[in-house]
Structure 1
């Protein structure tokens, strides 16, 4: 990310965050549990600063970029299995067949998903989960909820997260392998967004409000089926 891109991104962060603060002392009606959520947010933030970020920095330092990409692709391929199941649950048959094809091609020709063959074949990756499936059938989101370790959610999406975890292929691996895979996935994911954290800290704003409002806005856009904007490559300059 060059200096101009960095300034523009920071300006967008400030704009979004101050927009989220515009309600002043009035509590956001979507967040009636704000005192409890802030406590959980502080716990997660302390864990992130003291454990997750240092481990992620070492991961980026020690693991070559091609290996990190292969790891990301491997877990994305496993995630496509859950996406496919939710496509079919929402009767999005075309998307489901596309994602079935993604899993089939990447698992076989892509060496267990470490190479993203499907994207090269113009088979797009979709974003679906059981929380969105529940929303598709009219289940309201319920209050905003910060989950210990897992972060922003709502009552509906927390329930959906549990179902998605049950549907994930990793869940059925031998416990030793399962726990190791969960750990590697966590570190790999956290390592991709180290610079995003640094950018947010530069704004010196209420990071809880920004995280909440940005997450709720993004989630609502997904429920409406709006195309998700591609995030900047935060791995650059790490």
Structure 2
């Protein structure tokens, strides 16, 4: 959920509210400014491009692009499953990666899911959580979206295992831009609904992100942010 949540929804102001302070969001003032920046980037750049992409690219081609990036993500899944000693999941994702990369023409076609190989989601933030590293304060990252001190490490680790990280700058930018546009196009309807429904979209996305990460890490405790004290 990294980049898109920030690009889909914006903050209402640059000032932290009382609820932000009580929720334990010590960086709320800065986070809201970044959130507003991300919303403007989405409104003026990403959403128009994603809209044009949806209208001009046929659905089968968009599905192929989606499958390609899903297959690419299995590299990170395998790496983190190995680090977490999840042998069964790692074996399944290795098989998914091999199956779709070969018979699926580099991942453009997803044959693994119909074949009964489940899709997993792991990242380095979840690996750290597996070994007891706390989430830390909530962060809203420029263009990358909602995160936390712990989860923000995933972006650096992903750059080491992503094969396109070693390609030319032009290739990297092209791949990243295509990924962003594809994800934004998939979430077009959901973003419009949330924009109409959420009163404080910054707080809504923050709560959604934190609850989702707690669920993914197997933490069944409170979904509120930890209390780090009021920001000075």
* Shift, 1:65, TM fit: 0.2
Counterpart Cα distance in 1 of 2:174 and 2:79: 24
Q: How many residues are treated as equivalent by the alignment? A: 204
Counterpart Cα distance in 1 of 2:113 and 2:29: 43
Tell me if 1:103 matches 2:120: no
Residues 60, 191 of structure 1: 8 Å contact kept: yes
What residue number does 2:85 align with?
A: 91
What residue number does 2:173 align with?
A: 179
Residues 50, 184 of structure 2: 8 Å contact kept: yes
Report Cα offsets for 1:88-141 as digits up to 9, x if no partner.
Answer: 010001100100000000000011100001001100110100010011111111
The structure with higher relative contact order (CA 8 Å, sep 6+) is: 2
Q: TM-score, normalised by structure 2?
A: 0.84
Cα RMSD between the aligned structures?
1.6
Tell me if 1:162 matches 2:156: yes
Counterpart Cα distance in 2 of 1:105 and 1:161: 26
What residue number does 1:130 align with?
A: 124
Counterpart Cα distance in 1 of 2:115 and 2:54: 29
Q: TM-score, normalised by structure 1?
A: 0.82
Counterpart Cα distance in 2 of 1:216 and 1:30: 12
Q: Which runs of 5+ in 2 are unaligned?
A: 1-16, 221-232
